Amino acid sequence: MRSSRRPLLTLLPTGTPGVGKTTLGKELAQRTGLTYVNIGDLAQEGQLFDGYDDEYQCPILDEDRVVDELDEKMSEGGVIVDYHGCDLFPERWFDIVFVLRTDNTQLYTRLEARGYTGKKLQDNVQCEIFQTIYEEAMEAYSKEIVHQLPSNTPEDMEHNLEQIVHWTEQWMKDHN
């Protein structure tokens, strides 16, 4: 269960790679004063890996070490965690989870522009088609805190930012 005694909220923007989590998370941190943590960067800085995946051409995250590394910071609150998965994090960490969703054609183009090819490209697009991250979030967290947001256009991004900032301000009023 989430800790209601935390003075600052914590949130998780998640979704398939390429949906806009990092852009949203960084901008939210600027607008709200919350601390932004990108799990990929955290893992890189602390070498929190458990091998290398040759097929996907990327390091394998050591999920236990990541959770251990972040646990104290998360108990204090005031954190935005950016990662494309969500079921590795304890439910108590988050007050709200936003699953960003993008049209498959746009996602394909975005991932291609990042250099994704072959199986890695196809699997990530299929992940979005089959709502894999949304289903993971619904299984890992209380359904009341999981919300899907469209992330296709700059207008979607701005609308999402405004909504989340408003929600954050209301949460702070209600919990302090």
Residue list, annotated binding site for ATP: 18, 20-23, 114
Q: Is 53 exposed, middle or buried (0-12, 13-18, 19+ CB in 10 A)?
A: exposed
Beta carbons of 37 and 80 less than 8 angstroms apart: yes
Which residues line the annotated binding site? 18, 20-23, 114
Tokens 């394909």 correspond to what residue? 108
Residue 131, number of CB atoms within 10 A of its CB:
15
Integer Cα distance of 106 and 109 in angstroms:
5
Rounded alpha-carbon distances, angstroms, from residue 169 to 8, 24, 31, 173, 176: 11, 17, 11, 6, 11
Rounded alpha-carbon distances, angstroms, from residue 31 to 46, 50, 97, 151, 163: 27, 35, 18, 18, 12
Query: Considering only CA atoms, which of 96, 94, 87 is closest in space to residue 164?
Result: 96
